[in-house]
Amino acid sequence: MYVIYIICALGIVSLLAEIFNFKKALLPIIIIGLIAAIVASAFGENTGLAFSGMVSFDRFSVVYSTLIVTIAFFWFWMAYSYFHNRLNLTDQSALVLFSIVGAVILTAFANMAMLFLGIEILSIALYALAGSKKNNLFSTESSFKYFLMGSFATGFLLMGIALVYGATGSFELSAIQSATTNAAHPLPSFFYVGVLLILVGISFKVSVVPFHFWAPDVYEGAPTPITAFMSTIVKMAAFAALLRLFTVCFAAVSFTWLVVFYVMCVLTLIVSSVTAVYQSNVKRILAYSSVGHAGYILIAIVSGGNVGGLVLYYLAGYAVASLIAFAVIHQIEESGRTVFLSDFQGLFRKNPLLAVSMTIALLSLAGIPPLTGFFGKYLLLTQAIRSGHLALALVAIFASLIGVYYYFKVIIVMYSTAGDDRLITITTAQKVLLFMLMALVVVLGVFPDWFTFL
């Protein structure tokens, strides 16, 4: 629970920085504070119920929240130059920090009310951040679309929570779980409708088909650091909530939602892969890639069993590779270019480190050994085959083969001889960050057992 206190305090400090005029020291303070939050989350005496039983910090939530805060630390490092040059630094950094609090809550909620609060704290800040480029029409459009679709998703979520409460008489997950296993008192039919409505609400956040239509436009229009935040931290938090609900609380009524997950998984894998092939904007390619990776994670949920560690490992590898990719895109934008494939032409000549970093990130996302993405997909497919879902595994392999095409489309362009000769320079801090993230992609691929203990 201390991690929530620390990040909330950092958000308040960010707001006070404008008043007491210490804006120049704010980003170092945030980075140091996030290191403290990582230590508090990983090693602090913070297990058990908190906030009158509304939040439960068990091993699952501690590990997932630690991963989220760690990725947030790297994200702030990556976005340092973006925030450093903005007049509204304090407002935007505070919004990001409060959004991280919502993400942590989604890993630890023990009550449906906290599920709703976590999603809203996470989302409301991002509605504003997506449109933070005030003079950019695409940014404003992405903010409006994200807000509109998010509002619809919230409506489905609230209706689902209301129906579940009406059927069980409680918002507490433990009481709802007990009600689903009580054969003496069968649940009314509207309970199952509520479960499906909750699934719809959370599916929007993880951007699975058919609830993914917002993702490409929002990813393209939002500032690149904010896109990276959505692609990593938001997705990790939403999947943590999905796992907490459907593999524990609603596990006894899996006959209600398992087929829906299966269909969404197949559609997500196929639609995202095929659509990404026709994109020329690299941020849109990564948007459909993000949708596709959500489909791979659904394989673990459909397969059943103790998959918390498996999903954690896949999310960790995906998040690190995505951060590298968006860090490279951000540096290209900082040099005055756009993010179409033509802007990546000859990137290796302009800055070899950026080209190599992007290559490693895309190879990992494509599932090429010996990087993290390969072992993540291998473990997921193995789990699917062991649980009897061979057809699903074959669909995933087919989607991966298509993915190799559109990832290599970007890689080939970067090493071409075409394009202008203007060099791209990056700071020493960004170079260190890229080297660290690339090392993580390799190390996580070599030691996958670190994440399989949940």
Q: Is the distance from CB of 256 to CB of 250 less than 8 angstroms?
A: yes
pLDDT score of 87: 61
SS3 category, 50 = strand
d(CA 202, CA 294): 12
Q: What whole-number distance in Å separates Cα of residue 184 and Cα of residue 201?
A: 30
Structure confidence at residue 451 (pLDDT)? 59
Residue 450 has what pLDDT? 62
- pLDDT of amino acid 370: 85
The lowest-confidence range among 16-20, 181-185, 198-202, 363-367 is 181-185
pLDDT tens track for 391-426:
999 999 999 999 999 999 999 999 887 667 777 888
Q: Return d(Cα 242, Cα 205) in angstroms, integer.
A: 10
Question: Mind listing the pLDDT tens digit for each residue in 419-449?
Answer: 677 778 888 888 999 999 999 999 888 776 6
Mean pLDDT in the chain?
87
Which residues are within 8 A (CB) of 21 and not within 5 positions of it... i.e. 6 or more apart?
none
> With 0-12 CB in 10 A as exposed, 13-18 as middle and 19+ as buried, what is 330?
buried
Number of residues that this document lists for the chain: 454
pLDDT at 53 over 70: yes
Instruction: Please give the structure tokens belonging to residue 190.
Output: 């509207």
Return the ∠ at Cα 222 (arms to 396 and 116), rounded to 5°: 70
- Tell me if 121 sits within 8 A of 101, measured CB to CB: yes
Write the CA distances from 303 to 43, 177, 184, 208, 376, integer angstroms. Answer: 32, 20, 29, 17, 15
CA-angle at 329, arms to 323 and 333, nearest 5°:
140
List the chain domain ranges: 2-451
pTM, two decimals, is 0.92
Burial 98-136 (b: 16+ CB within 10 A, else e): bbbbbbbbbbbbbbbebbbbbbebbbbbbbbbbbbbeee
CB 233 within 8 A of CB 100: yes
- Whole-angstrom distance, CA of residue 302 vs CA of residue 260: 10
